[in-house]
Chain A
């Protein structure tokens, strides 16, 4: 079965550079979520999109922005990178928003993009 695809899988950037991470959800899934996992930490929710609109926002820095496109893929844009941005960035997708009153669709995770900022 098709899974969530993330690219690139690994990325190395210098401080103050920009980076763009891409996420392709499972076919028919209309919701994507971005998570950041720092070394030794649990995943932290950044932002989510449902039907191309931002549906929820977590601890996403102002230097980061994201969007969901008409084909439902999503991109996380990160500017003015800092050393502390080095982390594993996961994207997940679901069919309808988790937490909606009439569904419990599970989020399915991609393999993650490991970002290293030097």
Chain B
């Protein structure tokens, strides 16, 4: 059974702080790693999809890196704002399947 783990489970930071969290996954049969942002009462919003070892993606103040050899991805938020408060989910897709394996999510709360 493939397991995708995220840490920390929850995080409180002050407005303006930079933060990062981790998604760990088995590297066998890796195809792609997806990051989603999920606000309460809304559906998950796609942030990044990464496929190559060493990939780095950036969207505004949010960026992500990927290491497929050791099986982890980092998500960074620079200068956190209250509107960044959400759950950040990573999802693994593997070769030959049509499903994602979701991590447990990191719940971020940015305090004004």
A residues near B (Cβ < 8 Å) are 3-4, 31, 33, 42-45, 48, 50, 55-56, 58, 90, 97-99, 101, 104, 106-112
B27 contacts A by Cβ under 8 Å: no
Chain B interface residue count, Cβ-Cβ cutoff 8 angstroms: 25
Knowing A48-B99, A58-B99, A99-B97, the reply to whether A106 touches B49 (Cβ < 8 A) is: yes
- B100 vs chain A, min Cβ distance (A): 7
Q: Which residue of B lies closest to A103 (CB)?
A: B32
Knowing A98-B93, A99-B31, A106-B49, the reply to whether A33 touches B98 (Cβ < 8 A) is: yes
Main secondary structure of the interface of A (DSSP, over half): loop
Measured between beta carbons, the chain B residues less than 8 angstroms from A4 are 43
- B9 vs chain A, min Cβ distance (A): 11
Known interface pairs A99-B93, A99-B96, A104-B32; 16 further A-B residue pairs with C-beta atoms within 8 A, sorted by A's residue number: A3-B43, A4-B43, A31-B98, A33-B100, A45-B101, A48-B98, A50-B98, A56-B99, A98-B32, A98-B93, A99-B31, A99-B94, A99-B95, A107-B34, A108-B46, A109-B36
